[in-house]
Amino acid sequence: MKRPPARGELSAAVVSALDQPPGTAHLPDSRTAAASDPYGDDLQLALALCYELHYRGFDAVPDTWEWDPELLRFRAALEHAFLGALRADVPEPGDVDTLLDGLLVEPVDGDGVSHFLRDKGEHWQLREYAAQRSLYHLKEADPHLWVVPRLWGQAKAGMMAVEFDEFGAGRAERVHARLFADLMDDLGLDSSYGRYLGACSRQMLAVNNLMSLFGLHRLHRGALVGHFAWVEVTSSPGSRRLAQAMERLEAGRAAVHFYAEHVEADAVHEQLVRHQVVKGLLREEPALAPDVAFGIAATDLLEDRLGEHLLSAWRAGASSLFAPL
């Protein structure tokens, strides 16, 4: 994919470094990262650029950049700032089961993003939402796969049962990333991988970066399982409303199908993740319970902030994006 324009000193340093041969770049020190807004456009884009090297990479950037020691040192400083802010801002998570039970309770008069899009969203807002979410959905489930070698027993078996569905159960045309690309085509968006990285808001970058941060470190395997549990537990009701939004605005068959597929699939996945993955992990490693709880709570915090940003912009008739589509 193509690299997006920088948004400040940190991201400019990464963009510039990737134009040079690995091993030759000099990146900012940890004090520069520590002095930046941990949730800001600059730091979050810099992190996204670093993380993408572990996925499909960038045009004309050598694969050897993935494990460049200087870049990894810089990335660690960015991660330290981001994770430190999350630990300071996330309330005491509490019990894992209590957190998951709370996610299953939906208010009768809910007013979140999926409610807004279902009831009064406009076509341009659907397009913005899809462009933002494409950062993850065009590589859906990829970040969660990193936890598989770090699990064993029931947790590993349950995780693979869910991931098998996410990757189309052996059928390329049913891979969820492919289904989302079809949704984008229906909405008249460019479904090329990573196309809207430069357009996404800092709130979306943070949501997406959290998965990679947890996934790339064995230390955070419990937090990644917590993140995965949050995604699967909350997905089905939200997907139903988004399918209804696509139908109301006649977005297209593929656009409706993507979310309709998740209504049924994720209702099953929620049970698998909760009773096999989470409980299986904690049966083997009970000391990871606080990490699982932190993963759930941190995800909830960043998703809430993204939702607030989207609704605040749209209710004002403004774009939620950093740059226009």
Dig out the tokens for 165 from the structure: 């569905």
Phi, psi angles (nearest 5°) of residue 175: -60, 130
Q: What does the DSSP 8-state code read for residue 6? A: P
pLDDT tens, residue by residue, 224-256: 999 999 999 898 889 999 999 999 999 999 999
Under 8 Å CB-to-CB from 16, ≥6 apart: which residues?
25
Dig out the tokens for 194 from the structure: 């990573």
From the CB of residue 150, how many other CB atoms can be counted at a distance below 10 Å? Answer: 20
pLDDT of residue 235: 87
Q: What does the DSSP 8-state code read for residue 274? A: I
Q: Give me the amino acid identity at 258.
A: F
Q: What does the DSSP 8-state code read for residue 172? A: G
Which of 1, 4, 19, 12 is closest to 43 using CA atoms? 12
Spatial distance between the Cα atoms of 314 and 246, rounded to a whole number of angstroms: 17
pLDDT of residue 90: 95
How many alpha carbons fall within 13 Å on the CB side of residue 181? Answer: 15
pLDDT of residue 266: 62
Spatial distance between the Cα atoms of 304 and 224, rounded to a whole number of angstroms: 18
Q: Give me the amino acid identity at 311.
A: L
Which of 230, 234, 214 is closest to 222 using CA atoms? 214
154 SS3 class: helix
Q: Which residue is listed with tokens 């091993």? A: 23
Under 8 Å CB-to-CB from 137, ≥6 apart: which residues?
176, 177, 180
What pTM, to 2 d.p., does this model score? Answer: 0.96
55 SS3 class: coil
Spatial distance between the Cα atoms of 87 and 319, rounded to a whole number of angstroms: 30
pLDDT of residue 26: 87
Sign of the torsion angle spanned by Cα atoms 3, 6, 7, 11: positive
**Contact between residue 243 and residue 284 where contact means Cβ atoms under 8 Å apart:** no
Spatial distance between the Cα atoms of 172 and 2, rounded to a whole number of angstroms: 25
Listed as ranges, residues in the chain with pLDDT below 70 are 265-266
